[in-house]
Amino acid sequence: MGYSREVYESAEKILAERKKTAEDKAEKRKNEFYQICPEAKNIESALSKTAILAAKAVLSGKSVKEQLTKLKNHNLTLQNKFNELLIFSGFDKNYLEPNYTCTNCHDTGYIDGRMCSCMKKLLRTQAYKNLNALTPLTLSTFESFYLDYYPDTTMKSGKSPREIMENVFYNCKNYAETFSMSSPSLIMQGGTGLGKTHISLAIANIAIQKGFGVIYCSVNNIISKLEREHFGRENGNTEKLLLNCDLLILDDLGTEFKTAFSSSEIYNIVNTRLMTQKPTIISTNLSIQELQERYTERFASRIMGDYVRVSFCGKDNRLQKLFRRQ
């Protein structure tokens, strides 16, 4: 999967910082150890000279094998003595080694010229972060969701909007807390200002904290980005990121400008993620019939047949909050 130069530079910068931090801390531990045990520093100095002596032995051409064997034995003796001093001082034999975040590539991002799995993961994370840059993830949590904005008057169904939304709240919170790659896809339906965006962002927050790769996007904005990339006006691989992330949240389905391209892209994203069994959350103001009319019967059928429906009800919370401030 290809990424933009910005994503590569961000990942490489993070790896470089990790590597430097690990090596700086190791150097600090080494200096502290040498203050406690000056003899160890002398041994390290002697060890560093063995490479020079080995090179001289090869160049001299006199009994090379014998000299190299003596140097090797001397080197092993020095190493054993160094480790003994380290252990005697109360430290583990690996105490002076850098504690790299990735023990496979030592935070370089590559192993024998091939990209390490840590680099691949970091590239995905940075790409998700860039796509989520304009999303107020930190502003929406389950703790900041208030049920008292929903009327508690009983409706014809025998329940009040507050009772219904309380059930929605706890079901969605449980969904977030138990989220896994086998979690079902959700479609959140209801009018404007009923909390669909807030709840979906709260789910995103918890999923990200659990270590999952999450992309949250407005359908209108993401279709515009996909269109620019498709027609060569912008570089990127947004479609692949949308198809492959652990959890995709598509906000405000139905607000995008309707074109053959947008309808095709939306169907492809939804259908592909269903086929690959990757969870998706869709929020929309559209009813089932409106989904069918705006897109296709096949699209609506896929949604209603494979997604868990979450219905929001009540009055526009944003207006109520505005009135309360006045």
CATH number (domain holding residue 233):
3.40.50.300
Q: In this model, does residue 275 exceed pLDDT 60?
A: yes
**What is the spatial distance between Cα 34 and Cα 44, in angstroms, rounded to a whole number?**
10
Residues β-bridged to residue 308: 186
**DSSP-H helix ranges across the chain:** 5-36, 38-60, 64-88, 117-131, 161-177, 196-209, 219-230, 238-244, 260-275, 288-294, 297-306, 317-325
- Label the pairing between strands 110-111 and 114-115: antiparallel
Claim to verify: residue 168 and residue 301 sit in the same structural domain: yes
pLDDT at 60: 63
In a domain, residue 90? The reply is: yes
Residues 139, 94 share a domain: no
- The DSSP H or E segment spanning 247 is strand 247-253
pLDDT (0 to 100) of residue 87: 87
- pLDDT of 170 reads 96
Q: Please give the pLDDT value at position 319.
A: 47
Let me know whether 222 and 314 are in one domain. yes
pLDDT tens, residue by residue, 56-85:
666 665 666 776 777 778 778 888 888 888
146/77 same-domain check: no
Can you say whether residue 195 is alpha, beta or left, with left for phi > 0 and alpha for psi between -120 and 50 degrees? left
What percent of the chain lies above the pLDDT cut of 70?
88
Over range 17-27, report the average pLDDT.
95
In 3D space, the residue among 101, 141, 133 whose CA is nearest the CA of residue 14 turns out to be 101
How confident is the model at residue 324, as a pLDDT? 47
For residues 279 and 203, state if they share a domain. yes
SS3 category, 78: helix
pLDDT of the residue at 136: 62
Residue bearing the bigger pLDDT, 231 or 320: 231
- Both 257 and 224 in one domain: the answer is yes
- Band (pLDDT 50/70/90 cuts) for residue 155 is confident
Q: What is the pTM of this model?
A: 0.68
Do 53 and 201 lie in one domain? The reply is no
User: Which candidate, 105, 129, 99, places its Cα nearest to that of 118?
Assistant: 105
pLDDT band, very low/low/confident/very high, at 296 (cuts 50, 70, 90): confident
* pLDDT value for 125: 82
pLDDT score recorded for residue 4: 66
- 123 occurs within a structural domain: no
Query: What is the per-residue pLDDT across 226-262, written as a single tens digit (0 to 9) for each?
Result: 999 888 777 778 898 899 989 999 999 999 988 999 9
Residue 129 has pLDDT above 50, yes or no: yes
**Bridge partners (DSSP) listed for residue 238:** none
Looking at the structure, tell me whether residues 315 and 195 fall in a common domain.
yes
Q: Which of 73-82, 129-138, 168-177, 218-227 has the lowest mean pLDDT?
A: 129-138
Q: What are phi and psi of 189, to 5 degrees?
A: -120, 145
Residues 276 and 241 in one domain: yes
- Tell me, what's the pLDDT at 326? 40
Task: Say if CB 109 and CB 115 are below 8 A apart.
Answer: yes
Domain count, the chain: 2
* Domain of residue 53, residue span: 5-118
Mean pLDDT estimate for the chain: 86
Q: Where a domain ends, among 86, 118, 150? A: 118
